[in-house]
Amino acid sequence: MKALSVIVLAGGKGKRMRSGLAKVLHPLCGMPMGRYPLLSVKPLRPERIVILVGHDAERVREIFPEPNLVFAHQRFQLGTGHAVACAMEELKGFKGDVLVLSGDVPLITTTTLRALVKFHRREKNTLTFISTIVEEPTGYGRVLRDEEGRVCGVVEEADLKEHEKALPEINAGIYVFDSEFLRENLGRLERLNSQEEYYLTDLIQMAFEQNARVSALTHHDPAEVMGVNTRVELSEAEKLMQKRILKELMLSGVTIKDPSNTYIDYGVKVGRDTVIQPGVCLYGRTTIGRACIIEEWVKITDSHIGDGTIIKSFTVIEDSRIGRSASIGPFARLRPECRIDNSVRIGNFVEVKKSHIKEGTKANHHSYLGDATIGRGVNIGAGTITCNYDGRKKHRTIIKDGAFIGSDTQLVAPVTIGKNAYIGAGSTITRDVPDGALSLSRPEQKVIKGWVKRHLSGR
């Protein structure tokens, strides 16, 4: 079988995005758009993959960290033909088929790419590309066919003659070329068009004129091969990709109550029998265990949630690990670097930062727990605050197993509360409390009998 190499075009600026960010860096369901075509083509196990970078090259390279990729650089963005010519510098000596992908066609699937290569080989083609029929062809190159229906060229939007504008078949920007043909003809491209660019698409007419075998594989689903040139198209692509991600999760055993109001990034993992209520956002490198409940309007970023845990409404969790059978929220906020162990309960209006809370501990209401290590089976009363910051430095609070912290307590760090110790409500604790001790720091309560009557009568 012929060898296969791949070129991913990611050198353009994406002017129509009106952005300081190169187009392929714009995120789609949490992942830079330019990564999608690469991930789709990988299962084809190509011999070489060349990523063509140009505009903002350094940052674009960073989204392709995997080994075995080759980068080619395009100094000036002179068009897709020029881009492929630059990429071919890295395919010197390669003989076989070259699959060219556009970094801005992110919804393309492995199945379609496989079908394209297979079709190309079966037809013994020199050049095969994907086309599709759309209702609104504006913006795309139009496929020209002769009287016999053979593909004879592609005309770019900017170069269309009036009568060609209504042609419904468009070029999707995904091609397989015979490497010899590509090498011989890239150098013959000219910029005699309205954009003064080297068009890769001119090779289609050249192949036809040379009587080489060229054809289009017409895809039935325009959505899968849509290109993203503007932020309007970006939002359409986002919606389609989101739908795909949610469908896959549902088929794997996750209940998603309202898929049109659920936002889950590419790569987020959710275990079976977990229920996701409306308005939930799961972002980044998040993993959710089995049989969890994620209630309405929860946002979880880069975090792990263990099996059987419930995250109640309006909770925000960032860069944290939560164990099994825990209950968090409603209205809780877990800031980065929290470790919440099994069966912990964090209730409403509790903020936790950079803290480790061990098994079975409860902090059910209105607290700030920062830079703390809190043992097992601890009870944190309402209104407890770890005073972790002295204006210059952060300090740690240590609360050992079984301690009871009364309501409205301030723990002025650094401070340690011993095992099974009790802190009386309303205390400000500045010194360590030994194991098993009671500590409280509040003025003794006074009761002055008959005071009100005397006060009102003016005596």
Does position 137 interact with Ca ion (CB under 5 A)? The reply is no
Strands (E), 118-233: 127-133, 142-145, 151-155, 169-178, 214-219
Q: Which of 26, 35, 82, 353 binds ligand UD1 (CB under 6 A)?
A: 82
Does position 11 interact with Ca ion (CB under 5 A)? The reply is no
Distance between alpha carbon 386 and the CA centroid of its chain, in Å?
A: 34
Comparing C-alpha atoms, which of 59, 76, 208 is closest to residue 145? 208
Does position 224 interact with ligand UD1 (CB under 6 A)? The reply is no
Does position 104 interact with Ca ion (CB under 5 A)? The reply is yes
Outline where 123-191 has alpha helix (H). Answer: 179-186
Give whichever of 15 and 394 is closer to Ca ion, judged by the CB atom. Answer: 15
Q: List b or e across 380-398, with b for residues whose CB sees 16 or more CB atoms inside 10 angstroms.
A: bbbbbbbbbeeeeeeebbb
Instruction: Count the Cβ atoms, other than its own, within 10 Å of residue 79.
Output: 23
Q: How many residues make up the chain in this entry? A: 459
Least distance from ligand UD1 to the Cβ atom of residue 186, Å: 13
Does position 170 interact with ligand UD1 (CB under 6 A)? The reply is yes
Q: Which residues contact 272 (CB under 8 A, 6 or more apart)?
A: 252, 253, 254, 290, 291
Does position 83 interact with ligand UD1 (CB under 6 A)? The reply is yes
Comparing C-alpha atoms, which of 366, 447, 376, 446 is closest to residue 409? 366
Q: Which of 205, 229, 342, 428 binds ligand UD1 (CB under 6 A)?
A: 229
Residues 311, 232: Cα–Cα separation, whole Å: 33
Does position 238 interact with ligand UD1 (CB under 6 A)? The reply is no
What backbone torsions phi and psi does residue 32 show, to the nearest 5 degrees? -55, 135
Of the candidate spans 40-48, 102-110, 284-292, 424-432, the one that interacts with ligand UD1 by CB under 6 A turns out to be 102-110
Question: Applying CB under 5 A, what is the total number of residues that bind Ca ion?
Answer: 3
Give whichever of 54 and 347 is closer to ligand UD1, judged by the CB atom. Answer: 54
Build a one-symbol-per-residue string for 123-142: x at contacts with ligand UD1 by CB under 6 A, - elsewhere.
-----------------xx-
Q: Which amino acid is at 452?
A: V
Q: Which of 200, 292, 350, 357 binds ligand UD1 (CB under 6 A)?
A: 200
Q: Which of 4, 10, 116, 204 binds ligand UD1 (CB under 6 A)?
A: 10
Does position 79 interact with ligand UD1 (CB under 6 A)? The reply is yes
Of the candidate spans 96-104, 264-272, 308-316, 444-452, the one that interacts with ligand UD1 by CB under 6 A turns out to be 96-104
Torsion of the alpha carbons at 66, 70, 73 and 78, rounded to the nearest 10:
-100
Give whichever of 9 and 288 is closer to Ca ion, judged by the CB atom. Answer: 9
Of the candidate spans 27-35, 182-190, 225-233, 237-245, the one that interacts with Ca ion by CB under 5 A turns out to be 225-233
Catalytic residue set: 365
Residue 290 Cα distances to 123, 305, 319, 358, angstroms:
48, 9, 19, 21
Give whichever of 72 and 380 is closer to ligand UD1, judged by the CB atom. Answer: 72
Half-sphere exposure of 41 (CA within 13 A, CB side): 30
Does position 11 interact with ligand UD1 (CB under 6 A)? The reply is yes
Q: Scanning residues 338 to 397, which ones bind ligand UD1 (CB under 6 A)?
A: none
Does position 74 interact with ligand UD1 (CB under 6 A)? The reply is yes
Q: Which of 30, 32, 37, 227 binds Ca ion (CB under 5 A)?
A: 227
Dihedral sign computed on CA atoms, order 398, 379, 410, 355: positive
Site of interaction with ligand UD1 (CB under 6 A): 9-12, 23, 52, 54, 74, 77-80, 82-83, 102-105, 140-141, 154, 156, 170-173, 199-201, 227, 229
